[in-house]
Structure 1
Amino acid sequence: MRSVAVIPARGGSRRIPRKNVRTFAGRPMLAYAVEVALASGLFERVVVSTDDDEVADVARDLGAEVPFRRPPAISDDHTPMAEVVLHALDELDRAGEEYDAVCTLFATAPFLRAADLVAGLRLLEDGAPAAVAVTGFDFPIFRAFGLNDDGALRPLWPEHAGTRSQDLPEALHDAGQFYWTRVEVLRATRSLWPDGMRPVRLPRHRVQDIDEPEDWERAEWMHRALEGEAPS
């Protein structure tokens, strides 16, 4: 399958300013996704979609391509990721390039590994419309509480209040690393979550979403631990 990697990396970020190019463990955060994508050998091109001059310069220095700029209309906090990826595919299509599969890589994915990208592509080659990196929750979500208007706790799933942990349904969540999608499926559904998508399971110790300053600090601790122990 002819595949392209698209890394959305806009310049703005409210909770962690400039997080896509902020230094993480001595390198720009963007470096981790770009370098793993390039080293994997899976992609015809590794493209960064950005609206920002500094991000574009850093991306090029890392070996990625920035063949177009993302327009302001799809560069805010509310733009669906699928629209950003479709814009990138449209730009490449105008340049005469067509692809069978696109891998949307998160710019803030310092624990990304090439082997996981390979596993996702294999799922597409076996017929899946899409694949996503996922991991398990670190606590049974069916034991979760919500809050009433008066501040009192209420179980969100009262039917599971007495269920043993090992008998609860399995729950997974997006690992915030990558989506693989067949281009024809993405164009038809305009979604990175089409019916029939398959999971690429990752261990929890290699997953950290980075949205808040606390997330960044935790990821730095995780990176130091992983560098020292190199667990699988």
Structure 2
Amino acid sequence: MNIAIIPARGGSKRIPRKNIRIFCGKPMLAYPIAAALASGVIDKVVVSTDDPEIAEVALQYGAEVPFMRPAQLADDLTGTSPVIRHTLTKLQQLGWELDYCACIYATTPLLNSDIIRRLHEQLSAEAVDYVFTAARFSFPIQRAILQTPSGGITPFDPVAITMRSQDLPAAFHDAGQLYWAKASTWLDSSKKIFAENSRMHVLPHHLVQDIDTPEDWTRAELLYRLLQTG
């Protein structure tokens, strides 16, 4: 069985209740659930949450919540991988036979079923641990500048700041959307996502938007509406 796990705790600070806040007419959580179920490569979607209201929304839109996430895994310091390992372990204890597992973040309205399917195909075809979505930085990170305590400016890299952009290697960042691996890989804490035996699937910029501030939320809604009309 292939599953998707969506971590969705209730304690968002910067945008309160953002996992179920209304986004373009539906709760935010509804979008990744729908994309996963429409992908054709995921049998069940499981939402890992500590919040009864989030659990109710998840069930309403077709996901499953077989158990609630314990409080010690729902604080500001807990990373994603321990949550996925906890969920997989509990599901196996319930008798679920698990093959592949996609971790999909709750605030991913720009993620679509085609991307989910293509990454699963890539993972199935290559002998790698993880495949995840990424994006290219729009400006060379080597030419970053820093502000000094006195208000002055200093280059992050004094050598690279003098180089032409086209002479610097491209740099990428995690898109914060989707991570595919075998269930056994997720359960092996020695296997890291950002490592040599992983591969990234680079997305165009219009499909990537981190949502941490009200400005991020507004831009994501604009992008989503544009994609729907395209």
TM over 0.5: yes
Structure 2 counterpart of 1:171: 171
Map of 1:1-232 to 2, 5 A cutoff?
2-125=1-124, 126-189=126-189, 191-228=192-229, 230=230
Q: State the distance in 1 between where 2:88 and 2:193 align.
A: 14
Amino acid across the alignment from 1:138? S
Structure 2: runs of 5+ lacking an equivalent: none
Q: Which stretch shifts more, 10-19 or 141-150?
A: 141-150
Alpha-carbon distance in 1 for matches of 2:97, 2:216: 37
Count of paired positions: 228
Asked whether the 8 Å contact 2:88–2:187 carries over to 1, the reply is: no
One-letter code aligned to 1:210? I
Identity in percent: 45
2:27 alignment partner AA: P
Structure 1 position 194, deviation (Å)? 4.3
1:82 match: secondary structure: helix
CA deviation vs aligned residue, 1:109-137 (integer Å, no higher than 9, x gap): 01001111122112221211101100111
Q: What whole-Å deviation, never above 9, does each CA across 1:178-213 have from its counterpart, x for those lacking one?
A: 111222222223544344110111100111000111
CA distance in 2, matches of 1:192, 1:48: 21
Q: CA offset at residue 85 of structure 1? A: 0.4
Amino acid at match of 1:176: G
**Paired residue type of 1:208:** Q
Runs of 4+ aligned structure 1 residues displaced above 4 Å come to none
70 and 194 in structure 1: CA distance in 2 versus 1, 3 angstrom threshold: farther
- Report the Cα distance in structure 1 between the residues aligned to 2:89 and 2:156, rounded to whole angstroms: 42
User: Which stretch shifts more, 82-91 or 175-184?
Assistant: 175-184
> Deviations for 1:146-189, whole angstroms, at most 9, x for unmatched residues?
22232321111221112221221111111111111222222223
Question: Could you tell me whether the CA contact under 8 Å between 1:119 and 1:200 is conserved in 2?
Answer: no
Letter in 2 for 1:218: R
Q: Root-mean-square deviation (CA), in Å? A: 1.3
Letter in 1 for 2:18: K
Deviation string, structure 1 residues 45-85 (Cα, Å, up to 9, x no partner): 11000001110000000000011100000001110100010
Q: Which amino acid aligns with 1:226?
A: L
